[in-house]
Amino acid sequence: MSSTNRANAKERHTSDYYVTPVDCIKHFLSVWLEDLRSEYWDDTLNIGDRPDRALWLDPCAGGDKYHKMSYPSVIEEELGVEHVDTIDIREDSLADIKEDFFSQNIKDKYDVVITNPPFNQAQQIIEKSLDSVVDGGYVIMLLRLNFFGSQQRKIFWDKQLPVWSYVHHKRMSFTDDGKTDSIEYMHAVFVKNYSPSFTMLKII
């Protein structure tokens, strides 16, 4: 989700594809999984101990002939997950299903849904993802830190705050030239059927 407008993802040329940096994903996952194993959180799904046994979905998976799908590649290669299910609306994506996530009827619920959503659809993707995980399941979104703002989202925050907000202290580069934009990013972790009165924020 770079600060460049990504609204017309299906029409974007391959050269405009914004790739989530895998090093940032690796760092986030290592910190989050360690927190799941800590004494202050009851990880009833045991994902902290056995992420390879969890069912994972990336609904905006990306990937093209030049780039791997960032989240699935890290989760499969680093965590030993056999396969991450993937969806993406882009025709040149490497996803299993090249359709709109909102059109999908998810009958077999996932343990974790994780992705970098288009900014203008992020709230709707969070809500759809929460419907797509089991009770106590995790929804993880890479979001701009300023996503916490806006009057329109206040109603949403009143009913569904993330449990954790992992703020990346380095600005991310989403392009092959290594350039960064002016936005700070966080991985927000939501838990289905649990909305805390405040979010725990950690700088990573």
pLDDT, tens digit, 9 for 90 and up, residues 158-187: 999 999 999 999 888 777 777 777 789 999
Mean pLDDT for the chain? 90
- The CATH number of residue 81's host domain is 3.40.50.150
Residue 2 lies in a domain: no
Please give the structure tokens belonging to residue 148: 């916490």
Q: Total structural domains in the chain? A: 1
Residue 3 lies in a domain: no
Contact 175, 134 (CB under 8 A): no
Q: Which domain holds residue 187?
A: 9-203
The separation between CA 15 and the C-alpha centre of its own chain, rounded to angstroms, equals 22
Residue 4 lies in a domain: no
Please give the structure tokens belonging to residue 187: 């991985």
Per-residue pLDDT tens over the stretch 111-142: 999 999 998 899 999 999 999 999 999 999 99
pLDDT of residue 136: 97
Residue 81 lies in a domain: yes
| CA dihedral sign, ordered 201, 132, 160, 102 | positive
